[in-house]
Amino acid sequence: MRHYCIINTEDKRIADMLGKYGYICIPTEKSADVSEPISLHADVLYLKIAPKQLFISQCQKNNIELLDKYGYSITKIKLAPGYKTECRLNVAVSEDCVVYNSDTSVSTDCFAENKQLIYVKQGYTKCSTIVLANNCFITEDEGIYRALCSSGRKCLLITKGYVKLDGYDYGFIGGASAYLSAVKKLLFFGDISKHPDFEKIKAFCKECNCDIKWIENMQLTDIGGAVEVLNNER
């Protein structure tokens, strides 16, 4: 079975890696509605509310048309460059919780009632967080870590600052990775083995029944993560 994800495809190595695991990449469309360094980042341009429900930046015209054709419920969202206005869709969503900053995110009224709302001060919540299956998380943000642990969820706190993002001092671990639910693998966009907390990350993922893969000879890079779509349509 083929699987699909929306992702920044500027680096061919990333699309090639995803292809090894049966994924076809749908490119994000460059946006002037967010800051230039993140103008192709899926995790700021798309928010998956439910399996067939998406909030999408209104600039993603071709992909909106494609997903509408396949029966997705789509809400177009207006973004603008700047912290509070460009991270409205940057919300971490798991099977049963939503990690968000109410000062920056879209309204949480759109989420299912059975999802626990977990408030944090970080606006770039999804950028800062890897969401695995079975309520497991990895984050560089201490506030997110404390909030998730307090809610009874399993979370690993790692050292920040070891992810490349051109235009900024550093990027985020959530944007430098993608959990592929169809194959239960966590892919890192770059060599995670060079991260100072690699052994902790590897051990944690093993506890969470998640296999990790990475691109060797590439600096760990924040490319905006990935959003899985169309996995059962073709």
Q: Which of 142, 104, 97 is nearest to 123 (CA)?
A: 104
- Pairing relation of β-strands 226-229 and 3-7? antiparallel
Task: Report the DSSP beta bridge partners of residue 227.
Answer: 6
The pLDDT value recorded for residue 232 is 54
45 in helix, strand or coil? helix
Mean pLDDT of 209-218: 95
Domain definitions of the chain by residue range: 3-229
One of 3.40.1010.10, 3.30.420.250, 3.75.10.10, 3.10.129.10 is the CATH number of 3-229, namely 3.75.10.10
pLDDT tens, position by position, 90-145: 999 999 999 999 999 999 898 888 899 999 999 999 999 999 998 999 999 999 99
Q: What is the spatial order of strands in the sheet that 211-214 belongs to?
A: 177-180, 185-188, 211-214
pLDDT tens, position by position, 161-207: 999 999 999 999 999 999 999 999 999 999 999 999 999 999 999 99
CA distance 99 to 104: 12
Kindly state the DSSP code that residue 144 receives in the 8-state scheme: H
Taking the model in full, what pTM does it have? 0.95
112 close to 50: Cβ distance less than 8 angstroms: yes
pLDDT tens, position by position, 43-101: 999 999 999 999 999 999 999 999 999 999 999 999 999 999 999 999 999 999 999 99
Dihedral-angle region of residue 123 (phi above 0 means left; psi in -120 to 50 means alpha; beta otherwise): alpha
